[in-house]
Amino acid sequence: DRMSRRDAGGSIAAGETLQWWSGAPMPTPTSTINGTRFNWGRLVFAGGNRVLSGEVLFRQWQPWYAPRLQWVGKQVNRLQVRYWPNTNNLYPMAVLSAAAPNTALLTPGVVSLVEVAGSTSLLSRTGLFMPTATLAGRLSNGKTLAQGIVLSEGIVLSEGIVLSEGIVLSE
């Protein structure tokens, strides 16, 4: 199973379910605190410059979730921890960083909200300053990634986006 593979140093395959079984329903996207009910934003910031959402993001393992992957902008690195000798890998000595190998960072079906958020402006309340509730309310306007986001030699190469039925564009 997934836990024993992870404990043995293996990895979880891209797109593998994050739920106990693949047919499990998603939880109701609301919470109640002190009697006040509110909707979840269902937004994820990734790579330092992307806003993502969509059920696939929460149902399936995305390769960029790997804790030893560092994704900032168009650069992706694989991190490796070096430990002090004779410490049974208990005390880290250094963290080494190198360009990550070719891989996908996101699986198809993730929704990109970068275009919906727009450029960042405090005065216009866009981009990073757009209220979460406003952006979450525009999920249906996001672009569904048809090919995910692909990485080659540590550089993000392309983001496949479905514009409409049967048309695929790489940005």
Spans of all domains in the chain = 2-15+38-170
What distance lies between CA 159 and its chain's CA centroid? 13
What's the whole-model pTM score? 0.72
pLDDT of residue 80: 92
pLDDT of residue 157: 55
Contact 78, 100 (CB under 8 A): yes
Average of per-residue pLDDT across 12-21: 76
CA end-to-end span of the chain:
37
